[in-house]
Amino acid sequence: VLLVDDEAIVRKVAAGYLKRLGFDSVAAANGREAVELFGPDPGRFAAVLLDLTMPEMSGQATFAELRRLRPAVPVLICSGFSDGEVEDLVAAGAHFLAKPYTMAQLKEHLVNLIGYSPVSRRPHHRDHRPTVPHAAASVDQPQSPQ
């Protein structure tokens, strides 16, 4: 899963959720970085989790470029905002998950988006972790290599 969000804490929490759900993830801090990671092999990603409001390249522009590279790529817009931009992207085939969200909500949306879950056969474990934040303060933490 390609995880695109400009907030480090959101990327960290969402990557943890994805790992617990059985997905490998590659993180991008903005839309330009996402397109650079996606472009060489668009088929390697089962889905894209995409923040809407980011510097350098908006979520809407990123969505358009990802769809140009792979027209049917499953995209889950994850945003604290729900406005006309979200409605336009949903009309274009994206799914929407409002921030803050829990791991269980992320799993439900991914299963609906791509049709399966890598851990669907494992016993259910209750999710006691905090939700992905809506708007986190800037966090300067070293990022582990992918």
pLDDT band of residue 51 (cuts 50, 70, 90) is very high
Q: Which residues of 88-110 are buried (b: 16+ CB within 10 A; e: fewer)?
A: ebeeeebbbbebbbebebbbebb
Taking CA 139 as the corner, what is the angle to CA 133 and CA 145, rounded to the nearest 5 degrees? 100
pTM of the model as a whole: 0.80
- Confidence at residue 80, expressed as pLDDT on a 0 to 100 scale: 85
- Residue 25 CB neighbour total at 10 angstroms: 19
- What 8-state DSSP symbol labels residue 25? -
In sequence order, the 6+-apart residues with CB closer than 8 A to the CB of 96 are 76, 77, 79, 82, 86, 89, 90
Does residue 130 register a pLDDT over 60?
no
Tell me the mean pLDDT in the region 113-136: 54
| Alpha-helix residue ranges (DSSP H) falling in the chain | 8-20, 31-38, 59-69, 84-91, 103-114
Place of tokens 């999710």: 127
Instruction: Let me know: does 78 contact 5? Beta carbons within 8 Å.
Output: yes
- Between the CA atoms of 29, 34, 37 and 43, what dihedral angle is there, to the nearest 10 degrees? 140
Contact 3, 53 (CB under 8 A): no
pLDDT at 133: 54
Spatial separation of the C-alpha atoms in residues 60 and 88, rounded to whole Å: 9
What percent of the chain lies above the pLDDT cut of 90?
68
